[in-house]
Amino acid sequence: MPPTAPLVLALAVLQSVALPPRTEAVLYEDTLVVDSVGLGDGPSAWPYRLERTAPLGDTWVRLDDPFGGTYFAPSTMLAALAEQAVAYAEGRDAKSVLFLPRALTFSAVAFVVVGLVAAGALPFVLYRRRYRHERARREAAEAARRHLAEGREAERLRTAQDLHDGPVQDLHALRMGLALLARTADDGQRVAIAEASAEARRVVDELRHVAEDLRPPTLGPFGLAAALRAFARRFAERHPGVDVALDLDDDGQALAEPVRLALFRIAQEAMTNAAKHAGPAQISVTLRLNGERPPKTALLEVADDGAGYAVPVDLAVPTEPGHYGLVGMAERADAVGAALAVESRPGAGTRVRATVPVGTVPLS
C-alpha cells in the first residue's frame, strides 16, 4: 500500500552500494527511481517509485508512481534530490533521507483545473477593473454635469426672483405715479403720460415673460405639461408666424422635479432654435408617459418642418462658435439619465426626442 503520511520520506542513491542500512535506488538521465517509506515506519521501505516522465516548461515536472498517483512538482526539487542522492552515494553525506513536502505537489486534475481557472479569471479580473474605472469616471462626469446644471438653475431662479422683486415692482410704482400725474395734467400731457404708462406696461409684461422663461412658475405645482402649455402661449405671441401644436399627457407629479426641469429646458431650447435658425411654419410638441401607473418612462418630442441641418456626430461638441443649443440639450439629458436623439437633414426639418426613466412617484 502507498504511504499516507503528509510527507513522503524519500531515499535516493546513484548506484548500488554496500552501505547498510541505505536503501538502493537508481538515478537515470530522464527517470528518477526512489525508494520511500512512510514517516514513523522505521527502516522498512515500501517500493514507491517516482518517475520523471514529462517536463512542463522550465518550472514544473510531472511525476508518476506505480500506484497510479500523478504529481506535479517544481523542477528545482528534482535537482536538489539528485544532488543529495549523489552526495549520499559517494559517502560525502551520511544523511539518508530526503523530504518531499506534499504541499508542493498537485494532482494532475487539480493542476489543470487551477490553470484553466487562472487563465479564464485573468481577463475577467482585468475587465472588472477597467469596468469599475470607467464607471467611476462616468459617474464623476455625470455628477459634475448635474452640479453644473443645478448651479445654472439656481442662478436662473435668483435672476427671476430679482427681476420680479426689483424692476417689475419699480415699473408698477412708475405706472401708479403716472396715473396720479394724469389726474392733474392737461389733455396734451395726458396723451404723453398714457403712452409712457403703456410702454411701462409692455416692459413689465416682457420682464415677466423673461422671468417665467428663467423659471416657469407652473412647473413645480402643476407639472411639465402645464409648463409647456404656458410656454407655447408665450412662444406663439413672440412668433406669430409659427403654428405650435401640442399633444401632451398630463403628468401631474409623476416626474421628479429635476426630470421635469430638464425636459422643459430641452423643449424650450428646441423650439427657440427652430424659430431662430430654421424658419419653420409649424412646431409640434409631444409628451408621452407609458400606460403603466406609475409610468416607467417619459418621452418628449419636438418636431419642426424648418430648414434642417446636418446633425453632428457628438452632440456635446458645438459645431459653430456661439451655437450651443445642442450642447445644452445634451448636457441636460445626461444630467437626468435621459437618452437624447436628434434627427435632421438639410431641407427635411428636425426632430428632437428625449426618453427618460421615471421614478416611482405616483400620478396625481
Task: Express each pLDDT in 175-190 by its tens digit.
Answer: 888 888 888 888 888 8
Per the listing, cell 417619459 goes with 298
Are the C-beta atoms of 334 and 341 separated by less than 8 Å? no
Instruction: Please say if the pLDDT value at position 251 is more than 70.
Output: yes
What's the start-to-end Cα distance of the chain, in Å?
A: 82
Residue 60: what residue type? Answer: W
Residue 323 sits in the same domain as residue 289 = yes
**What angle do helix axes 325-335 and 108-163 make, rounded to 10 degrees?**
120
Question: Which of 70, 93, 116 finishes a domain?
Answer: 93
Range of the domain at 247: 220-363
The pLDDT score that the predictor gives to residue 78 is 62
CA angle in degrees (0–180, nearest 5) for 161-166-172: 115
Cα–Cα dist 62/166, whole Å: 90
Question: Which of 93, 126, 151 finishes a domain?
Answer: 93
Residue 271 sits in the same domain as residue 290 = yes
Per the listing, cell 534530490 goes with 81
Q: Which residue has the higher pLDDT, 357 or 64?
A: 357
Instruction: Indicate the number of domains in the chain.
Output: 3
Q: Give the residue ranges of DSSP H helices in 239-294.
A: 257-273
Residue 68 sits in the same domain as residue 201 = no
Residue 156 sits in the same domain as residue 278 = no
DSSP, res 22: P
Cα–Cα dist 306/349, whole Å: 5
Residue 267 sits in the same domain as residue 357 = yes
Question: Which of 49, 71, 93 finishes a domain?
Answer: 93
Cα–Cα dist 71/111, whole Å: 9
Residue 187 sits in the same domain as residue 315 = no
Q: Write the pLDDT tens digit of every residue in 96-124.
A: 444 443 333 444 455 566 667 777 777 87
Residue 229 sits in the same domain as residue 359 = yes
Residue 86 sits in the same domain as residue 184 = no
Residue 207 sits in the same domain as residue 228 = no
Query: pLDDT above 70 covers what percent of the chain?
Result: 59
The pLDDT score that the predictor gives to residue 70 is 52
Residue 226 sits in the same domain as residue 357 = yes
Cα–Cα dist 331/316, whole Å: 7
> In sequence order, which residues have a C-beta less than 8 Å from that of residue 245 and are 6 or more positions away?
282, 283, 284, 285
The strand order across the sheet containing 98-101 reads 35-38, 7-11, 98-101
Residue 141 sits in the same domain as residue 15 = no
Residue 225 sits in the same domain as residue 342 = yes
Q: What CATH number does residue 299 fall under?
A: 3.30.565.10
